[in-house]
Amino acid sequence: MGLLGCKETRKRELRRFFVDRIEERNGLCVITGPEARHMTRVLRMEPGDSLVLMDGGGKRFQARIESVAPKHVQVILQESLPSLPPSPIKITLCQALLKSRPMDYLIQKTSELGVDSIFPFTSKRTVVRLTDERMENKIRHWRQIALNAAKQSGRPAPAEIAAPAPLGELLERWRNEDCLKFILWEQEEAKDLKSLLNQPPWRARVIGVVGPEGGFDRQEIKAALDAGFISISLGQRVLRSETAAAALIAILQYECGDLSPIGAQIRYP
């Protein structure tokens, strides 16, 4: 056990890198683009350094750098690592646009916690408004944060980050979706997340909507209810939007997903 335990611990401590697809040629793989630049210019990695290479298809290899060039890094694929098991729950977070730092924090932490996709939206009380040019830059920035969070937490693929859209458009998108759908509302007094999760039937997919700092107005809540969403509260504390989103994902993962006690995960139909 000692040798195996040390070996597994050593693998977990290696830096992780993502590529779109691991293409093996004679036991070698070439890494290009941002990951190669990060390896060479930021981390100053050199031939002989070890790493874990992953792709969006779930492949994972322990690898060693063979050579470094200005625009690419060639690695030796030493050992195929077991694929990480899929999460028993698929979580979509619809999040009102926030200012830069809170939004970055939200994407980082919910990505580490295992959210599958994040759909930013605008609503009546959303303060942040983006031009087309700024939106493209923001999406690129958010996706990089999600990628870094995936490497940090060891998840098999980064969270998907969608382009911002109006709240009404997102509600219509999932109007007929057969899954657990809810919207957080600070004025909800009858339903909370705990009681909702204790009610069958369970679903393998959850869609949660978190509003801006100013919250939702009653017309937006009504539109959500009309689209099949359930209005719930997280309790008596008044949380910042980014805190509410992180707490929401953590609770869902603990009750139903990857943060559940070992062996106690709920298995969905």
Beta carbons of 75 and 31 less than 8 angstroms apart: yes
Structural domains in the chain, sorted by start:
12-80 (2.40.240.20), 90-256 (3.40.1280.10)
User: For position 139, what pLDDT does the model report?
Assistant: 95
10-15 contact pairs (CB < 8 A, 24+): 11/52, 11/62, 11/81, 12/154, 14/50, 14/51, 14/52, 14/62, 15/43, 15/45, 15/51, 15/52, 15/151
Close Cβ partners of 192 (under 8 Å, ≥ 6 residues apart): 232, 233, 234, 235
Helix, strand, coil tally for the chain in percent (to 5):
35, 25, 40
- In whole angstroms, give the CA distance from residue 52 to residue 78: 10
CB atoms within 10 A of CB 244: 20
Cis upstream peptide for 34 (omega within 30°): no
Give pLDDT, residue 268. 36
Instruction: Determine the pLDDT at residue 159.
Output: 94
CA distance 30 to 72: 7
Closest CA to 114 of 241, 252, 211: 252
What is the predicted pLDDT for the residue at 93?
98
Residues in the chain with pLDDT values less than 70:
1-12, 200-203, 260-269
Instruction: Decide: 143 and 158 in contact? Cβ < 8 Å.
Output: yes
Q: Is the pTM of this model over 0.85?
A: no
Which positions ≥6 away from 114 have C-beta within 8 Å? 87, 91, 153, 155, 249, 253, 257, 258, 259
Q: What is the pLDDT of residue 19?
A: 87
